[in-house]
Copies of this chain bind each other. A is one copy, B any other.
């Protein structure tokens, strides 16, 4: 339901934007220029595009359904040494001008629409263009869209991101890349390394998506597990910092314990010590666990702890405050006791 609504909105917006005359701007880059195109100027994409634009020597073209985001991006680049930003009227328009396209979109349906929908990338794509999709979406959708790009004579890699908004701002993201061959990976790496620190090839098409969701599956389980272990230890009378230090030098050690420990005060830089702010929101973890569930169903992989963790996060996300806090807030959910309902 929701997805179809989004898709329709997407199509509508493309047309609407074209009608509103984005043409006047888009003429600033000729059809034959080899621009870098960037679609999706959201919380992640905005910062990423800035890093990429500043470090690239070719024309830069952007598109977003939200025209305000495009204007803001243009304004943000006005102090750049290359201030001319081409605002495309549609993904197809952007594709017609670009030899490299980076997309950063929220969900599978948006990626499908932006690539294969009306006025989508496939309608304007040029031979040999490299499409880099940094969205985190269903592995099956990612592979399917990439194959359509390749069938159109262009090239595609999936390159989902790890590192969050902080990493996007700092240009320190990790990209997990799936590509048909090493050459596509190497070319994508040239651009991705301008937005992040680590660019890792995970395998064939879809492998970037697969690696990312497998990592996040284990992350979700480890975090709930750390919350359970810390809560038990505290109730048994242990000092949380002492317990964490023991776990962190023993076989229970994990990122959720030694870097993002969910108990406030144990690690000063962890979201839990900042009222669960500034981390990876519960509702985003829940979204990724939905991708995990789809992949598990497709491949008939049993996930006993994984599916339970997903549903715990779904329960937690019923609380609007917690849905927008770092997912380590599961500790609060677990440990809370109250006198009344």
Contact = CB atoms under 8 A, between A and B. Distances in A.
Interface of A: 1-2, 4, 139-140, 143-144, 162, 174, 176, 198, 200, 202-204, 206-207, 210-211, 213-219, 221-222, 224-226, 228-233, 235-239, 242-243, 246-247, 249-257, 259-260, 290, 292-293, 295-312, 314-315, 317-322, 325, 332, 334, 336-341
A318 B340 CA distance: 10
Nearest to A306: B228
A338 B310 CA distance: 19
Contact of A162 (B226, B239, B251): B251
Q: Is the interface of A mostly helix, strand, loop or mixed?
A: helix
Given A233-B214, A254-B218, A202 B243 contact: yes
A118 B243 CA distance: 36
A305 B225 contact: yes
Contacts of A307: 307-308, 310-311
A210 B236 contact: yes
B202 A242 contact: yes
B237 A207 contact: yes
Contacts of A214: 229-230, 232-233, 236, 238, 243, 247, 252
A210 B238 contact: yes
